[in-house]
Chains A and B, each alone.
Chain A
Amino acid sequence: MARWGMVIDLDRCTACQACVVACQVENNIPPASARTAERGRAIAWIRLVPFGKGEGGEHPSLRLIPVPCMHCEHPPCTKVCPVHATQVGDDGLVGQVYARCIGCRYCTTACPYTVRQFNWDRPAFPEPMEAGLSPDVSVRPRGVVEKCSFCHHRLQNAKDAARAAGRPIREGDYLPACVESCPPGAMAFGDFDDPRSTVSRLAESHRAFKLLEELGTHPKVIYLSKGEWGGES
């Protein structure tokens, strides 16, 4: 089995948010109204987290870091779910079963990265958007939790295509929408179990680090940055 993961090179990232937009479109995430956003209820599976440095000082700086679900190897969210609605799948992806979730939001509070999202409202798409919803991804009902799936449906499609062609799945067959859309090519995706994969190579870089590594969650999203990155939260 593969161990899918992501590497984000912060030295290349321009914080353009193309990944955020690609994700919204790919995964049928309802656009938030101004009021919803103001109330802190906009749903985003990948968001730019502002890490500030020297706040209030003479040279304040802000670094925006894209944060999707870390698909931890030891996720704090899956074990607290009272109904097994979130589990680690065979490919190491942390999945969410929308049809079973009771909406208690224990997983959202247990996640140290705050990447889990809740459907406070019924999802609403403006007129032309509704026709353009992706048929591969279900629209989530009100009252359940959702989060980045590493575009799990793309993995299914890639596996099917590979099987039809009678070959194993290869690097590049399966890329989440955010990785595919990244204009400066700051995001890489692949199998950490394959030592020759791009992500495995990048992960060995001296620039590599993980978010909140000290919590022992073993994230499968690895960041690259030269020198100080301002993330000593």
Chain B
Amino acid sequence: MENPDLGLDERLIRPIEKPARAFAIFALVLFVLCAWGFVAWMAQLRKGLAVTGMNVPVYWGLYITNFVFFIGISHAGTLISAILRLARAEWRRSITRAAEVITVLVLFFGMGSILLDLGRPDRLLNVILHGNFHSPLLWDVVSVSCYLTASTVYLYLPLIPDVAILRDRPGPRQALYRTLALGWTGTPRQKHLLERAISIMAVLVIPVAVSVHTVVSWVFAMTVQPMWHSTIFGPYFVVGAIFSGIGVIIIGMAVIRKAYHLEDYLKPIHFNNLGILLLVMCLLWFYFTFAEFLTTYYGADPSHMTVFLSKTQGEFSYLFWTMFMACFVIPFVLLANNKTRWTVWGTVTASVSVEIGMWLERYLIVVPSLSRPRLPMEAAKYSPSWVEWSLFVAFGATFILLYALFTRFFPIISIWEIREGRENSAREVSARVDSYLPAAEEPAGGSTP
């Protein structure tokens, strides 16, 4: 049996057992937004996609943008957590769970965006009954369901010991915790099995995660449309996905830290370390964007140039240069500077900027290419309708609401991993460091060769 008395870590369980009153207000606001989205959805079901701003030739708009954006965010949670675990980065302990939950929850909104976009959502099952595996959309269905399953397992495994702690304490929802704890008592054999399972899953989820945004990009890149048909779209999308995902982790951590007073667990160093990762992705994003746009410009294929010019100096130029500021200039300045990167506000500001920029990037991939078809036509301009905006806001609010509810049911910081770190890490790390170096056999001041 684990010791149910947590001592120092008692604070991690307080949101579950003694929630603050402010939570109810926060949840209510989110619920109202979510309900508003439901109203908008009903309007769309009743009147069809006519209630959106989409038209010919802009057949795809906000919903597909959100699909790419939400699936992109899912990339940081599980992927970053898996990489940090495999790299045995000790600072991961207080952030892995907060990150993994993001992945599992946000995937539903990515897939939900596709459902919103269908003209006949009632025929969704046709995707299974009559699936055409030549279609990149089918690749998405397979890849995303695989990722959702793997991420859920990967979130659940390290949750088991913590659920057992909750089960062993006098508190609410005993039946739920008893079921989910799967009889965990913390025997050495159980611990060994759990660690094996976690490390196997950590390795497995990495290729799955990479495949997810690669095939999302292929929805576009497999067509011959101008500025979609690009070979670097796979890695470009994966980089953008991790970029936007890390940003959401940082924002989420800052909120949790503030709301639940977890300053001792989520320290500036955590924000600094994630900030460095965000900076690396920021530079990679710039590199890919530069490569993509320079090759298009230099090649100067007229049909591609029409789209290129609409982005850089035409109809979409305001959005384009805002994206460039938000994805590169602002985060680069904030993150390359030690003074701002070591602060919570510095990394959070950079992250918020990255989210805005990355959403714009997705929008600028979907809409301009469709707005400039190869054959000239009297193109109507696309501007999203209230239904599309409402559903976007509602999706965001519902995601935050579910995330907040998770923190009320389960510890958002892994208690057992923190304790394990406190008890064993120092020893393990020093043993590991010893193993890197030549054995200290000679007594100090020994002979020189």
Chain A interface (Cβ < 8 Å from any Cβ of B): 38-42, 47, 49-52, 67, 76, 79-85, 100-106, 108-110, 112-114, 117-122, 141-145, 211-212, 215, 233
Contact = CB atoms under 8 A, between A and B. Distances in A.
Given A49-B377, A109-B370, A120 B48 contact: yes
Q: Which of B55, B136, B219 has the most CB of A within 10 A?
A: B55
A110 B138 contact: no
Interface string B287-317: 0000000000000001100000000000000
Given A82-B138, A110-B225, A233-B374, A100 B126 contact: yes
A144 B336 CA distance: 50
Contact of A215 (B47, B114, B224): B224
11 contacts: A40-B378, A42-B56, A76-B223, A80-B223, A82-B137, A103-B120, A106-B135, A110-B225, A112-B373, A145-B119, A233-B375
Nearest to B114: A104
Q: How extensive is the interface on chain B, given as a class?
A: 35 or more
Interface in B217-231: 219, 222-225
A106 B50 contact: no
Tell me if B's interface is mostly helix, strand, loop or mixed: loop
Contact of A83 (B127, B219, B370, B379): B127
Contacts of A113: 374-375
A104 B119 contact: yes
A79 B134 contact: yes
B230 to A, nearest CB: 15
A209 B135 CA distance: 30
Given A81-B132, A114-B375, A142 B48 contact: yes
Nearest to A80: B135
A99 B132 CA distance: 16
A40 B375 contact: no
Shortest Cβ-Cβ A-B pairs, 8 listed? A103-B119, A40-B380, A143-B119, A40-B55, A82-B137, A105-B59, A82-B135, A83-B126
Contacts of B55: 39-41, 120
Contacts of B118: 102-104, 143
Contacts of A106: 135, 137, 219
A83 B118 CA distance: 13
Contacts of B47: 121
A120 B50 contact: yes
